[in-house]
Amino acid sequence: MRDVWNTAALARLDKAHLWHPFTPMADWCAEDHEPLVLVGGEGSWLEDSDGHRYLDGNSSIWTNIHGHGHPTISRAIHEQLGRVAHVSFLGSTNPPAITLAERLVSFFPKHTLTRVFLSDDGSTAVEAAMRMAIQFRQLQGEPDRTRFVAFQNAYHGDTLGAATLGGISAFHRPVAGHTFPITRISTPDELGAMTDVTAVVIEPLIQGAAGMRPWPKGLLRRLREKCDAAGVFLILDEVMTGFGRTGTLFACEQEDVVPDFLCLAKGLTGGTMPLAATLTNEHVFRAFLGPVEAGRTFFYGHSYSGNPLGCAAALANLDVFRDEHVLESLQPKISRLGNLLASLSSNPFVHQTRQCGFISGIEIRHPDGSPFPWHERTGAAVCLAARRHGLLTRPVLDTIVFMPPLCTTEEELAFGIGAISTAIDETLPRR
Ligand SMILES: Cc1ncc(COP(=O)(O)O)c(C=O)c1O
């Protein structure tokens, strides 16, 4: 039997007690705002408390991989729940975490990424990599080597360390002045002497929160070479790009690059449980070995590190990739998405479409190419209109993100892009 929800009561209680992330709460709590209450999902579709269905056009904030309620992942979580939901990873271990570490390192050439540090989300995956890089330099007798190099418009998460790397002023202004030394660049060619630098950090192949902006081909490879020449770590933040989004399991494969630290989260569990992994190599790991009194231990972690439910979900996520040949069947859909995006270019309000694998962004501007004033939130208005046509997504400013789960069919892709096209037509001429 179908659940019955009292949407109005839920909305009232939400407004009374919750505080949502990245949300102007005055608008959210306004009398006339009707929060979307999501209650179910199946495949690429979500359902709200009033029974409306929506294509999940941003994969539930870039997390979902094989669709909602995939039986393989659901079964793995249920089976693990029958054993134990959570046990400490401080002083004990568990089979799903062990197997997951082995599976993750098996995707990389032997003797490269061999160690897996588990945490909870994208920010902590990045935070752990940064903390390891800083402590590594201390342990090597280079305590002043604390600087990170990060890119303009980068986004690496919201814990204080990860936010330090961020280059989007609207997000990161409130913590300015509470951060550590950063050099910000827009291309690897700007890298000068890096004697005080511990690591360079980048979102490989495409910047997400900057508005789905792909990097030029070869940039990642060039960055790896520069880091090698300067003896500087390369941290790759694959929190968004990991797990097939760019067309390969990991984005770095496409430029034949192996980083010193690889940060994974979001799609790691197929979008079901919060779990993150920071992978690194034996060179880094060995620096942390020694007697307790030598103070080499990595004193960092979280209560839910190595959570067995999350690890079981992550293993099942990888099983689905293998058993359902997901990456192979994705390739024609990536081409189809490209054609659909191209069909939008005749719309005078579509300034640019950008694509990297199964990730895309549609930037809207005035027909003369000038941007809309940011505070008018035109992208948000288009997304709201798209919702009325059965597509759920969020903009990054005035770039409409379209990156549904990898299981989305070609017909569903056409439906989603159609909803965006109609939403632009409905919204913009009237403004
Ligand atoms: C590239 C990248 N890194 C890190 C993060 C932070 O991940 P989380 O929100 O899980 O902390 C995000 C989130 O969007 C991201 O896109």
| CB 157 near ligand 1, within 6 Å | yes
Sheet containing 350-356, strands listed edge to edge, beginning at the edge strand earlier in sequence: 350-356, 359-364, 399-402, 395-396
The DSSP call for residue 205 is S
Structural class in CATH, domain 71-323: alpha beta
Identify the pLDDT of residue 177. 72
Identify the pLDDT of residue 173. 76
Identify the pLDDT of residue 180. 77
Identify the pLDDT of residue 430. 53
Pick the closest to residue 242 from 221, 271, 273, 220 (CA basis). Answer: 271
pLDDT per residue rounded down to tens, the chain (431 residues): 678 999 999 999 999 999 999 999 999 999 999 999 999 999 999 999 999 999 999 999 999 999 999 999 999 999 999 999 999 999 999 999 999 999 999 999 999 999 999 999 999 999 999 999 999 999 999 999 999 999 999 999 999 999 999 988 777 777 777 777 899 999 999 988 889 999 999 999 999 999 999 999 999 999 999 999 999 999 999 999 999 999 999 999 999 999 999 999 999 999 999 999 999 999 999 999 999 999 999 999 999 999 999 999 999 999 999 999 999 999 999 999 999 999 999 999 999 999 999 999 999 999 999 999 998 999 999 999 999 999 999 999 999 999 999 999 999 999 999 999 999 999 997 55
- Ligand 1 pocket: which of 155, 212, 238, 278 to mutate (most atoms within 8 A of CB): 155
Identify the pLDDT of residue 172. 76
Identify the pLDDT of residue 313. 98
Phi, psi of 188 (to 5 degrees): -60, -20
Asked: is 36-66+325-427 a CATH 3.90.1150.10 domain? The reply is yes
Q: Ligand 1: distance of its center to the CA of 363 in Å?
A: 21
Q: Where are the domains of the chain?
A: 36-66+325-427, 71-323
| CB 245 near ligand 1, within 6 Å | no
Q: Which residues contact 161 (CB under 8 A, 6 or more apart)?
A: 126, 127, 130, 131, 180
Q: Which residues contact 287 (CB under 8 A, 6 or more apart)?
A: 136, 139, 140, 296
Q: Which residues contact 373 (CB under 8 A, 6 or more apart)?
A: none
| CB 240 near ligand 1, within 6 Å | yes
What is the per-residue DSSP string for 266-323?
Answer: GGGGTSSS--EEEEE-HHHHHHT-S-GGGT-------TTTT-HHHHHHHHHHHHHHHH
Q: Ligand 1: distance of its center to the CA of 365 in Å?
A: 26
In DSSP terms, 38 is beta-bridged to 48
| CB 403 near ligand 1, within 6 Å | no
- Residue 316 to residues 105, 211, 311, Cα–Cα distance (Å): 16, 31, 9
| CB 161 near ligand 1, within 6 Å | no
Which residue's CA is the closest to the ligand 1 atom numbered 13?
Answer: 157
Identify the pLDDT of residue 124. 98
Residue 54 contacts residue 48 (beta carbons within 8 Å): yes
Residue 22 contacts residue 36 (beta carbons within 8 Å): no
Identify the pLDDT of residue 151. 97
Q: Ligand 1: distance of its center to the CA of 198 in Å?
A: 21
Query: Tokens at residue 36, please?
Result: 């979307």
Which residue's CA is the closest to the ligand 1 atom numbered 16?
Answer: 240
Identify the pLDDT of residue 406. 98
Q: Which residues contact 58 (CB under 8 A, 6 or more apart)?
A: 392, 393, 394, 401, 402, 403, 404
